[in-house]
A and B are shown apart, each in its own frame.
Chain A
Amino acid sequence: MLTFYRRLLWLYPTSHRELFSEEMLAVFSELEMNHRTESISRRAIFYIRELLGVLRSALFEHISQTFDTEIDFTFASRRVFMKDGFRFPKTTAILMALILGGVLLAIKRGEDISASLPHVNPSVGPIQPAHSTLLPPIALFFAFFYAAGLIGWAILFALRRSGVHRLADTASSGK
C-alpha cells in the first residue's frame, strides 16, 4: 500500500511534492501501522479517506497553482464522510437542474438560429450544426449522472432519516 501511496503523490504539483512527499509518506506509514490491528472495515475507511484526501488536495493544489487562487477545501472532509454535518441543500439540486436546462436550451436555440440563417455561399452547401449529433449523447450523459447523484443522495437521506447510523453507537455502548 505504501508503494501505491507513493505513486499517488505524483499527482501533486512538483513544488508541493518536493516539499512534502517524504513527510506525507512517513506520516501515512505511521498511520498505516496503527491501523494494522484494526478491523477490516476501519482499515477500509482509513484507506478510502487517505485516497480521497490525496485526490482532492492534489486537485486543489493544481487549481491553486494554475489560477493563483486559494481554495479552502478542508471544510469538505466532514461532508464526504457524512458525519454529523452532512448536508446537500435541495436548492443546489434545483439550481443544478436549472443550469442544465438553460445550457441545453441555449444549445438548441443556437442550432435553430444557425439552421434558419440563409447561407452566403450556396456552393458549399448548408452548413450543418456540428454539435447536432452531439447534443443527445451530452444530454444523456448529464441526465445519467444527475439521476445517479439524485438516487445516491435519496438513499443516503433515507438512511440518515431512518437512524441506521446510530445503530453502531448503540452496539458499541452496549458492550
Chain B
Amino acid sequence: MEDLPLSEPVLLILMSLAGQPRHGYSILKDVERMSDGRVVLSTGTLYGALRRLLDDDWIERFEERESSRGRQAYRLTSQGRRSLQLEVDRMKHLTRLAALRVATKES
C-alpha cells in the first residue's frame, strides 16, 4: 500500500487519471503539462509506478475500445480516488496551516 504523503510523480500520475482514463503516453504528457515541464517521467519510472499502483489496487488496467491498436489504458479505482482525496485533504490542511503561520509572523 502506498503511504501518504505520496511522492510528487505518483501524485501527478493519480491526478492525471482522476480526470479521465489514460494510456501510458497520455499520462506522461499530462504529468509534464501539469507540472509545467518540471516533472518529466521516463517510461521506466512511469511503468514502475503504475505497477505498484496496480498492485495496491489504486488503479486498474483495461483495453481501450476506441483505439484501433487495442491499447491498454488505466483508470483510478474507488480506493485510488479515496487515497488521492486523502492526500489532497492532507495538503489542504498543510497549506492552511502554513498560510496561518506566515500571516501570524507577518503581523
Interface residues, chain A, with chain B CB atoms under 8 Å away:
16, 19-20, 23-24, 26-28, 30-31, 49-50, 52-58, 60-61, 70, 72-75, 77-78, 81, 83-84
Q: A23-B47, A26-B71, A53-B42 are in contact. Are A31 and B25 (CB under 8 A)?
A: yes
Closest chain B residue to A19 by CB distance?
B51
Residue B10, interface by CB 8 Å = yes
Bound CA span A81–B42, Å: 11
* Cβ–Cβ < 8 Å partners of B42 in chain A: 49-50, 52-54, 57, 77
In the complex, the answer to whether A54 meets B44 with C-beta atoms within 8 Å is: yes
Interface residues, chain B, with chain A CB atoms under 8 Å away:
7-10, 23-25, 28, 38-52, 69, 71-72
A78 CB contact (under 8 Å) in B39, B50, B71: B39
A74 CB contact (under 8 Å) in B9, B23, B28, B71: B9
The minimal Cβ–Cβ distance linking B31 to chain A, given in whole angstroms, is: 11
In the complex, the answer to whether B39 meets A56 with C-beta atoms within 8 Å is: no
* Cβ–Cβ < 8 Å partners of B43 in chain A: 24, 27-28, 31, 50, 53-54
* Cβ–Cβ < 8 Å partners of A56 in chain B: 44-45
The minimal Cβ–Cβ distance linking B68 to chain A, given in whole angstroms, is: 13
In the complex, the answer to whether B47 meets A24 with C-beta atoms within 8 Å is: yes
Bound CA span A83–B48, Å: 21
The minimal Cβ–Cβ distance linking A28 to chain B, given in whole angstroms, is: 5
New contact pairs (9) apart from A26-B25, A73-B45, A74-B10, CB-CB < 8 Å: A31-B28, A54-B43, A57-B45, A57-B47, A60-B48, A73-B48, A75-B9, A83-B38, A84-B38
Closest chain B residue to A53 by CB distance?
B42
* Cβ–Cβ < 8 Å partners of B48 in chain A: 57, 60-61, 73-74
Bound CA span A28–B51, Å: 17
In the complex, the answer to whether A27 meets B45 with C-beta atoms within 8 Å is: no
In the complex, the answer to whether B49 meets A49 with C-beta atoms within 8 Å is: no
